[in-house]
Structure 1
């Protein structure tokens, strides 16, 4: 539970993703909580009952109960608003005066916000504060460092997903190469008949490459369509992003690279089987069995 006062709001209002009906703007929501001890602003992950995507979250207007485990006192809150993103993990925002009265001696300052002058390096200031006050248990971080650390974890997860995507592409391309090798093996007589009828090696080779390109393109189109539709559905229908109005932007340049690379690699994997097919002699059509 984080208690705040007017000095905290004077530094700038943390953005809210949603608020109670009747509150005109974010400032009205913060002022309401500051002056009304029955109202609170909660984290976007507050009381989440899931380790994956957040579930069971509170919405503006919902009620919850706070319990002082030392005194046994109970207080009922109504959610006035939900913060857009709670990287510092404040949990519940309530009036400082109420927190002091409710928590008693347990309400001690545990977090301080330090403003730096224009042009100052917030990261360097945080490191200096930590170094000089480490004996007092101080651990200082800049907002940028906290956010970058959190985003680095998310980026690492997405990089892991990209690794699985790359592995799937490698397996798919290898599978296509195996299919083309088997196709050449099983169609030796048919290819020999085509060669006997006057089809050139170039035509036979091109036929196998076109077949491989068609199979690869079919998989690429289906995969892209499913990926775009799934992403759009997740962005517009999921509760993960709250009421945030997020735009749907397809990274076409990166997508084109992802599409062209597997297509070209698939053709490369099919090049050897296609060359073997083109090398089959017309006499192969006379063979009854290999």
Structure 2
């Protein structure tokens, strides 16, 4: 059906009076008698070259291209989100490096290095969680009409894996950036101030 236009017989003959014969029939059969009607039509019209295709198969074939594009864009979007979380690590690294003097001051007044790591990590993890929450909320609003449609199919597994991957990747990059930025002698940064 892709590339075809289905119209009523009256409209067809009004717009295309020179065309004769039929190339496609749409047959409505009760769902409990589909196999019986299909067999009867195949026997009766076997000399005419009848090819029966269920409407669901036709629609699946029609939607195959669209579904392929959607899957491709979902995968690319997920990769983009994972790369974005790596960008988050770079931003965290820069932020912590700029604040080394402040963090060194906290060490100088008695805060333990482990507590300092936890403080910086918690601060940036909260930003990551907030970003994920608001991103999910915005995406939910954007796709709400599609979710409310009766034919909506949600791939919960793919969505969960993508979000979990983003969260884990973001936490990993945040942890690595924090570890890298807080290693070495922080008190030297305080002397430079």
**Match of residue 78 from structure 1:** none
Q: State how 1:1-290 maps to structure 2 within 5 Å.
A: 89-95=4-10, 99=13, 106-112=19-25, 117=35, 140=51, 142-143=53-54, 144-233=56-145, 246=150, 254-288=158-192
How far residue 268 of structure 1 moved from its aligned partner, in angstroms, is 0.2
Distance 1:182 1:189 in 2: 13
- State the superposition RMSD in angstroms: 3.9
Distance 1:250 1:222 in 2: 20
Give 1 or 2: higher strand fraction. 1
How far residue 266 of structure 1 moved from its aligned partner, in angstroms, is 0.5
Q: Secondary structure at the match of 2:22?
A: coil
How far residue 223 of structure 1 moved from its aligned partner, in angstroms, is 1.3
How far residue 287 of structure 1 moved from its aligned partner, in angstroms, is 2.3
CA contact (8 A) 2:121 2:178 kept: yes
How far residue 182 of structure 1 moved from its aligned partner, in angstroms, is 0.7
Deviations 1:123-160 (A, max 9, x none): xx9xxx9xx99xx9x69462243222112112112112
RCO higher in 1 or 2 (8 Å CA, sep ≥ 6)? 2
Q: Secondary structure at the match of 2:8?
A: strand
Q: Secondary structure at the match of 1:92?
A: coil
CA contact (8 A) 1:202 1:278 kept: no
CA contact (8 A) 1:174 1:269 kept: yes
List alignment gaps of at least 5 residues for structure 1: 1-85, 237-244
Deviations 1:200-225 (A, max 9, x none): 22112112221221221122111111
CA contact (8 A) 1:232 1:248 kept: no
Question: Could you say if the C-alpha distance between residues 256 and 106 of structure 1 is closer, same or farther in structure 2, counting changes exceeding 3 Å?
Answer: closer
CA contact (8 A) 2:2 2:62 kept: yes
Deviations 1:239-275 (A, max 9, x none): xxxxxx6387876665443333211111101122211
List alignment gaps of at least 5 residues for structure 2: none
How far residue 195 of structure 1 moved from its aligned partner, in angstroms, is 1.5
CA contact (8 A) 1:213 1:263 kept: no
Distance 1:149 1:279 in 2: 57
Corresponding pairs, count: 182
Length-normalised TM-score, structure 2: 0.71
